[in-house]
Amino acid sequence: MEDGVFTVGIDLGGTKLLACLIDENWEVKEVMKKKTKPDQGPEAVVDRVVDVVKTLIEKSGQSRDRLKAIGIGVPGTVDSAAGTVIYAPNMPGWSQIAIGAMLHDRFAFPVTVDNDVNMGLLGEYHFGAARGYNYVVGVFVGTGIGGGLIMDGKLVHGANNLAGEFGHMVIQRKANSRECGCGNRGCLEAYAGRKSIVQKIASRARDGYTSMFKDIDFNTLTSNKLNNALIQKDRLVTKTIKTACQDIGVGIASLLNILDPEVVVLGGGIIEAMSDFMMPLIHQAVKNHTLSYDTRKTQIVLSQLGDYAIALGAASYAFSQSQTLSPSRHL
Amino acid sequence: MEDGVFTVGIDLGGTKLLACLIDENWEVKEVMKKKTKPDQGPEAVVDRVVDVVKTLIEKSGQSRDRLKAIGIGVPGTVDSAAGTVIYAPNMPGWSQIAIGAMLHDRFAFPVTVDNDVNMGLLGEYHFGAARGYNYVVGVFVGTGIGGGLIMDGKLVHGANNLAGEFGHMVIQRKANSRECGCGNRGCLEAYAGRKSIVQKIASRARDGYTSMFKDIDFNTLTSNKLNNALIQKDRLVTKTIKTACQDIGVGIASLLNILDPEVVVLGGGIIEAMSDFMMPLIHQAVKNHTLSYDTRKTQIVLSQLGDYAIALGAASYAFSQSQTLSPSRHL
């Protein structure tokens, strides 16, 4: 394998860096994690990324000059053509940061930069739940709700790098509908992201609704704790998650009516932690709100890759983008 | 011009057939209208289409063997690859009708068959308001609400020929939201299509709301009569249309958040009749519900072609599809 080329993919998270190295057969050869420490500023984070790439290459026993490209997924708005992070809300100081150029200065290899959600979807497309499809919608429910779109095998970035913001489709257009973090009202994310779910549970618990979560600190309410409450049949949590499934299903139905994809991949912390409970309920809600649902062949599937989806997608994107001058089976 | 080739485009409406003939420079050489008489059944309608094509060619002075292809837009669900009308709700007996093959039998020229809304959008893309863009969303508000999507210069049909059903995105997800003709609840069309607008006006008039439309037959309430009422500042009509603009704007905002196109073309009978009143209100509602609206370069424009949009789109589609074996600037 010394003669082959390879890429490195990086998931630049607000808390941790996850990285992987894949060879030219797109086999995963090495993975690793490191803390991001975003409070130390963009320059320091780039140093840490450089360390990760070097360590990963060393550990894999590859020769550094066989590195073909580096791909990185960033939690924020990205101008992927320019390789610039426009804005990353959870990373202090990350506004208009030319991370592509900064990394290219250190390595002299091509660097692809994209949104973390897009890279996660691409991971599922190349390695996971969306393999074999060409027209894919991804919906990821975590703290917020993100999404991505692959059409004819290509990521859709949109005219302003803002395609796939599924969390901000409006599912409740009344003037008094729930306020969203984006400043608007009635967005899907304001109803069914983890932040909103926890807020609803907290407010109902304060109102005296019986629940095992009556006296806890709601900042510590993780997806896994919610799942435990579901398993123990906590009434408040069950009711709240059921409503979230209804809202997510309505949103996905709108996506089917608008886009008519071959497959919808569902992922993110909330869905992955409670998939047994949520997937059938979401499926039913999609059925109830999609035009001619029964005549469609569209699949609704659970993501498969877990933690390394973004790093894997970034590594594969680096490969396919570095091959755009020659025909490629991948993109 | 006798040496050039040409195509014929047909808008097969529930009431009338509109047809046009365009030359190889995509210049419109001839147009004509004829009644559809859909109650006489599919075979009779195809006979009438054949008559229109023959008359149009005669009138234009072309030689019939220079006809390159025929394009037809049909008001219903179409399997465009097969040339089959799957279902056309306003045309009795039009279920699984292989109109492409039927016309091809008569002329021995290629026939393209597609949805009327897609063809109207393609008309605006090639000849009208969306010229010069490559990533286009069309929203058409008539009796119902239809739509279409052009990405990378190509019509998006979806995995099941159901892409672009923007009227059925859910804008109100409550259990008691308005019922839609599709059988679901809360669809945009149930709030802002002409049928719903007229129902709302009728029900409020019955409840004693002051209006010039208190005692009329609401089946006769056309888009132009609504516009007259607006001009005369009828309170009920003004209020109802304002709310419809809010609903349409919310729907378009969701489309921007999902797709991030370069341009949105707005058309259809309702919008075209009341564009001066509606366009600014819709624009404001889009602004209020779109993520990072101010950073986008997306345009929201009024359709330009009026009655012949569908026939023109169908004629251009016939040209571009008949050229798919050779490189084409059009598709």
pLDDT per residue as tens, chain A (331 positions)? 446 899 999 999 989 999 999 999 999 999 999 999 999 999 999 999 999 999 999 999 999 999 999 999 999 989 999 999 998 888 888 999 999 999 999 888 899 999 999 999 999 999 999 999 999 999 999 989 999 999 999 999 999 999 999 999 999 988 789 999 888 999 999 999 999 999 999 999 888 888 888 777 777 889 999 999 999 999 999 999 999 999 999 999 999 999 999 999 999 999 999 999 999 999 999 999 999 999 999 999 999 999 999 999 999 999 998 865 333 222 2
Contact B238, B274 (CB under 8 A): no
> Given an 8 Å threshold on Cβ–Cβ distance, is A184 in contact with B254?
no
Between A160, A161, A170, which is nearest B250 by CB?
A: A170
> Which chain B residue is nearest to residue A185, measuring alpha carbons?
B289
> Which chain B residue is nearest to residue A182, measuring alpha carbons?
B291
> Given an 8 Å threshold on Cβ–Cβ distance, is B156 in contact with A259?
yes
Residues A170-222 have pLDDT tens digits of 999 887 899 998 889 999 999 999 999 999 999 998 888 888 887 777 778 89
Which of A78, A117, A173, A295 is best to mutate for the B interface (most B CBs within 10 A)?
A173
Count A/B contacts: CB-CB distance under 8 Å. 151
pLDDT at residue B228 is higher than 90: yes
Q: How far apart are alpha carbons A176 and A65 in whole angstroms?
A: 59
Q: How confident is the model at residue B246 (pLDDT cuts 50, 70, 90)?
A: very high
Strand A84-87: give its sheet, edge to edge.
A77-79, A84-87, A95-97
DSSP code for B279: H
Contact A31, A18 (CB under 8 A): yes
Contact B268, B307 (CB under 8 A): no
| Tokens describing residue A199 | 């807020």
Q: How many CA atoms lie within 13 A of A232 on its CB side?
A: 12
> Given an 8 Å threshold on Cβ–Cβ distance, is B260 in contact with A151?
no
Between A163, A255, A259, which is nearest B260 by CB?
A: A163
pTM higher than the cut 0.90: yes
| Tokens describing residue B63 | 């030689």
Alpha-carbon dihedral sign for residues B151, B155, B161, B164: positive
Q: How far apart are alpha carbons A319 and A315 in whole angstroms?
A: 6
pLDDT at residue B329 is higher than 50: no
> Which chain A residue is nearest to residue B166, measuring alpha carbons?
A258
> Given an 8 Å threshold on Cβ–Cβ distance, is A170 in contact with B171?
yes
Give the minimum alpha-carbon distance from B298 to chain A in angstroms, rounded to a whole number. 7
Give the minimum alpha-carbon distance from B284 to chain A in angstroms, rounded to a whole number. 13
> Given an 8 Å threshold on Cβ–Cβ distance, is B186 in contact with A289?
yes
Q: How far apart are alpha carbons B151 and B263 in whole angstroms?
A: 11
Strand B111-115: give its sheet, edge to edge.
B28-35, B16-23, B6-12, B67-74, B111-115
Q: How far apart are alpha carbons A117 and A94 in whole angstroms?
A: 17
Contacts of B79 in chain A (CB under 8 A): none
Q: Is B251 helix (H, G, I), strand (E, B) or coil?
A: helix
| Surface-to-core class of residue B107, CB atoms within 10 Å of its CB (0-12 exposed, 13-18 middle, 19+ buried) | middle
> Given an 8 Å threshold on Cβ–Cβ distance, is A159 in contact with B296?
yes
Q: How confident is the model at residue B324 (pLDDT cuts 50, 70, 90)?
A: low
| CA end-to-end span of chain A | 24
> Given an 8 Å threshold on Cβ–Cβ distance, is A172 in contact with B173?
yes
> Given an 8 Å threshold on Cβ–Cβ distance, is A291 in contact with B135?
no
